[in-house]
Each structure stands twice: as structure tokens, then as C-alpha cells.
Structure 1
């Protein structure tokens, strides 16, 4: 079977990411990848009160992180950026706080996974305006990531919240 080899292929995309957008999306990909890894680490090693519910909830976090990571990487390719989701890149570049090894009490898992969810949200919010200026379509993806991860952070953190005595306080209208 003959294979066609072209010397050069030329396209003319309507939009191609610049270096800043490429770096921003790479950082978000790294953080989402680390969130998926941390979620699985927590899922395997959580012990204590509400184990089963938290065990299952962590799978929701992992699924969201993996799906968003794939969407971000595919968006990167669509705008001519080569994503790097290698373990070495994730380890070197993550902005998430580290997750402990070994068994971890469920209350600590709640706090640590919530912190990691908010770290990814912080990355998405930090890069949003630059991305939006360059490519509003890609910014729409960031909106989806922020919305879902903030929802998951709220749901996970509710395990440890105390009504009327948690920080931040809820706004009552």
C-alpha cells in the first residue's frame, strides 16, 4: 500500500493561538491533569466518616478533570498548539498543592481536594481575560471549566462546612 508524502501542507486558519494563549492553556492542562491524579489518589486512599459517599464523589471530580483536560488539549490542537500532558511536565509545572501519600482521613481529603479544585479554578480565572481578548471561543471553554469545578468544590467542601460558622460565610439574601 502506497503512502502519500507531501513536502509541505499549508492551511490558513481563521485563528491561531499566540505564545501567551498557548502557555495559558498548557498551564490549565497541567493543572487539570494533576487534579485527575490527585482525585484518584484520594479515591484510593480515603478512610473515615462518609467514606463511601466521598469515594464516589471523588470519581466525579476525576471524571470532570479528565474530560476538561481532553477538551482543553483538543482545543489547543484546534488552534495549533501542541499540548504536553506528560507526567514530567505535570510534575514540574503544576500549581496545585501536593496531595499526601498513604491513607488520608476523609475530612482532610475534603479540604485538600477542595483546595486543588480551587487552584485549578484560580488558574482558569487568572488566564481568562488574556484568553478572552485573543479568542472568545476558547474563553467559553474556560467558563465551563470554572462553573463545573466551582460547583464540585462547593459540593465537596459541604462535607466539612458548619452552618453559619464556616469561612467564607454564605451570603443570605
Structure 2
């Protein structure tokens, strides 16, 4: 609900909070107690004004409050923290290979260092995380192959 609709709702509640007790008291409750119509409607209007004052206090806090009560979630991230890990956000066209192709094992190069064991960092919901050795994490579609093992004699899925 937008802020303008909140103010509109608060104004409507205030009008109803004044009109309802005024009319009920002026037409049905007070005629048996107060005979003079001028005095009866003055008392009914005063009761309506008292209830409307409470509605105004509520309406101001309702209309001025933020439209969302919870803090927005942290943005999703893409993290590749393992040795030769790959994390991709979005669609991918091509192959992902995290292992060797017939040669000796290569030391990890660049990228983010692996997380220290026993102290995992909190990851925001919706994140793409490749945290293990040669891990491949993808959020999206892929046109191609994903290979995570060494390939000394051929592809290993």
C-alpha cells in the first residue's frame, strides 16, 4: 500500500470514527436521556469528536509508518571460494571445465581464496556459491557441458 493510500485510509477511518458515534448517540441512545435536540446533538458531536481524536492519533502513525516493516534482504552474490571453483549467475553458453585436460594438476590461480575451515561466512539467500574443490554452481541455463574432474584419457562427467 502506497503512502497516499495510507493517508486516504486514515482519513476515511477518522470520518467514520466521528460519524458513527455521533449518529448512533444523536438518533438512538441520547433521545431518551436528553429531550432538547440542540443539547442532544451537541453531546453526540462531542462524543464523536473524542472518538475521532483517537482515530486521528492512530491514523497518523498508520499513514506515516514505512510501507515495509522488514529490512530488505542483502543482495545475492556470486562466490567461487574453492580451488578451481566456478560460480555463474545468469545464462551461460559454452563449456565449464574445472579439471585438467590430460596434463598434471595445476595450482589454483587468482579468484577468491578458499574460506577458512570452521568459520563459514554467512551467504545471503539466493546466492550462487561454488565452495568445494572444482565445484561448479550455476543459476540460470547452460548450453554446453560442465566437467569437474581431471581428464587424463577423456571426458569425465
Give the TM bin, normalised by the shorter chain.
under 0.3
TM-score w.r.t. length of structure 2: 0.26
From the two aligned structures, give the one with the greater helix fraction: 1
From the two aligned structures, give the one with the greater strand fraction: 2
TM-score w.r.t. length of structure 1: 0.25
Question: Is the radius of gyration larger for structure 1 or structure 2?
Answer: 2
